[in-house]
Amino acid sequence: RPLDFSGVWRFRELLPFASDEQIVTIGEGQTMLKTSQPVARYVGVNDDGLFLQYEGLNPSGSFKDNGMTAASTHATMVGAKVAACASTGNTSASLAVYASVAQKFKVVVFVGSGKIAFGKLSQALDYGAKTIQIQGDFDDALARVREVCQTEGIYLCNSVNPFRLEGQKSIMYRVLEGLDWQVPDWIVVPGGNLGNSSAFGKAFMELKALGLIDRIPRLAIINAQGANTLYQLYEKEGLRWNGGRYDRDRSSDFFTKMDQENRRASTLASAIEINRPVNFSKSLRALDVCDGIVREVSDQEILDAKAQVGAGGLGCEPASAASVAGARLLREEGVIAAGDRVVCILTGHQLKDPNATVAYHSATDEHLDEKLMNHGVNKTPFSNG
Ligand code: F0G
């Protein structure tokens, strides 16, 4: 049955808001959890202690499909005629494919100018979404789309949409399933708009309350250094959920200062180039539930980690590799122990952003070039054109 084929809806008792006939699905969530010996060694844990959750295997090539199947289902339930999102590329690709499958609502996508990897842009266009490039970056695009949705009565599909997060809980169900429901020690996830982290916290809270797990893994959220709002507020300023009474003045002061200084996010991991995460407060709750920790990693660390993931099999896009780079850092710090079982979430497919991959490998094999030239092989250098 189609619903049992979906890696989201076969868990539908845990996200019970739609009847079976209402569900919009294209078999999302047929993803897998795999150990990777090369990546385990890179991170510094036992060979069988590092697991990669390949969410790039979803129909549109990213984890977003887990959430978008749920949001699109809800959009059709409420009779939405138009749905919209701001995006660094994956959300828009995912929303566009679900709209083309549902044939019930049109899609408008807002992207920052020059801020989207071509693989992702091409998907939104091909699936027939109206794609609008706005002046500014993702944070500007999200602010604009929220305004427009509010005034025009358009259905908003960014991760402020709670139905998105319901679907994204299933990533954790599948991870646990892959581990025969043995709870790992760590879940490591890249942090952008913080939808995944928030959904994961909610998933674990509910599973524990239902008695399906007896303990909750620790959550590590990894920011890119150039887009590190959560790292700043959680690790540097020490902001904590505090039963929902967290110090909102401190966070709003932080954002006001960010505006005054016109501080913009900047990272090669374009998917997580975000300074104003919409799920900030929900992520504080997730960090509380999961005894969480936040780290930042540099673009170089992200790209080095990404190359290890690729060489170990399957591969991922840059933002995804922040998880592996973060796990390595936490292992170096001794926060993760050599014997821990660590799950890194690979959020997007390798082919999403080929330019980043080609540029990295063109720049890093100088010695190989020399050796090849000794054998009369003269390589034409690739360029990031
Ligand atoms: N990894 C990838 C590949 C992403 O596309 C995103 C977010 C994230 C990680 C961050 O996830 O927001 O749940 O913390 N991409 C959004 C987009 C912003 O528009 O596609 P998060």
Domains belonging to the chain, first-starting first, are: 32-60+164-355 (3.40.50.1100), 63-161 (3.40.50.1100)
Beta strands 50-54 and 32-35, pairing class: antiparallel
What interface predicted TM-score (ipTM) does this complex get? 0.99
Does ligand 1 lie within 6 Å of residue 50's CB atom? no
Strands 155-156, 82-87: pairing is parallel
Q: For 354-372, what is each residue's pLDDT tens digit?
A: 999 999 998 766 666 676 7
List the structure tokens of 138: 């993702």
Distance CA 210, CA 39 (A): 34
- From the CB of 119, is ligand 1 less than 6 Å away? no
Output the average pLDDT for the chain: 95
CB 155 within 8 A of CB 78: yes
Token pair in block for residue 357: 């991959």
Query: What angle do helix axes 195-209 and 280-289 make, rounded to 10 degrees?
Result: 40
Ligand 1 centroid – CA 26 distance (Å): 20
Closest atom of ligand 1 to CA, residue 319: 1
Per-residue confidence (pLDDT) for residue 384, from 0 to 100: 47
Tell me whether residue 211 is exposed, middle or buried, using C-beta atoms within 10 angstroms of its C-beta: 0 to 12, 13 to 18, 19 or more: exposed
Q: How far apart are CA 56 and CA 70, in angstroms?
A: 18
Q: How far is the CA of 27 from the centre of ligand 1 (A)?
A: 20
Residue among 31, 65, 88 whose CB has most ligand 1 atoms within 8 A, to mutate: 88
194 CB within 6 A, ligand 1: yes
As a whole number, mean pLDDT of residues 201-227 equals 98
* Tens digit of each residue's pLDDT (9 = 90 or more) over 260-278: 999 999 999 999 999 999 9
- C-alpha distances in Å from residue 144, one per residue of 109, 153, 191, 228: 11, 14, 22, 22
User: Measured from the CB, is residue 195 less than 6 Å from ligand 1?
Assistant: yes
At residue 380, the pLDDT reads 58
pLDDT at 172 exceeding the cut of 50: yes
Average pLDDT over every residue of 240-258: 95
CB-based burial of residue 114 (10 Å sphere; 0-12 exposed, 13-18 middle, 19+ buried)? exposed
Amino acid at 45: V
pLDDT grade for 385, boundaries at 50, 70 and 90: very low
* Ligand 1 center–CA 96 separation, angstroms: 16
CA 249 to centroid of ligand 1, rounded, Å: 27
Q: Would you say 197 and 191 are in contact if contact means Cβ atoms under 8 Å apart?
A: yes
Ligand 1 atom closest to Cα of residue 317: 3
**What share of the chain in percent tops pLDDT 70?**
96
Mutate to test the pocket of ligand 1, among 272, 273, 294, 351 (most ligand atoms within 8 A of CB): 272
132 pLDDT higher than 90 = yes
CB–CB of 143/274 below 8 Å?
A: no
Q: Give the nearest ligand 1 atom to 274 CA.
A: 18
Provide the pairing of β-strand 50-54 with 342-346.
parallel
Asked whether the beta carbons of 205 and 172 are under 8 A apart, the reply is no
**Residue in the structure block whose two tokens are 């932080």:** 254
- Ligand 1 binding pocket includes 272 (Cβ within 6 Å): yes
Alpha-carbon span 131 to 92, nearest angstrom: 9
Do 90 and 120 meet the contact criterion of CB atoms below 8 Å apart?
yes
- Ligand 1 centroid, distance to 104 Cα (angstroms): 25
Q: Is 319 in the pocket of ligand 1 (CB under 6 A)?
A: yes
SS3 163: helix
How remote is the CA of residue 345 from the centroid of ligand 1, in Å? 12
Alpha carbon of 347 to ligand 1 centroid (Å): 8
- Give residue 239's pLDDT: 97
The CA 21 to ligand 1 mean position distance, Å, reads 29
> For residues 152 and 161, what is the distance between their CA atoms, to the nearest angstrom?
17
Evaluate the CA torsion angle 272, 93, 14, 347 in order and state its sign.
negative
State the chain's maximal CA–CA distance in angstroms.
68
CA-closest residue to ligand 1 atom 15: 271
- For residue range 61-93, what is the model confidence (pLDDT) as tens digits? 999 999 999 999 999 999 999 999 999 999 999
- Taking residues 107-132, report their average pLDDT: 94
Give me the mean pLDDT over the 186-199 stretch: 98
> For residue 382, what pLDDT is reported?
55
> Helix 299-312 and helix 318-332: axis angle, to 10°?
100
Structure tokens at 312: 């170990």
Distance 376 CA to ligand 1 centre (A): 44
Are the beta carbons of 270 and 321 closer than 8 angstroms?
no
How many whole angstroms from 243 Cα to the centroid of ligand 1? 27
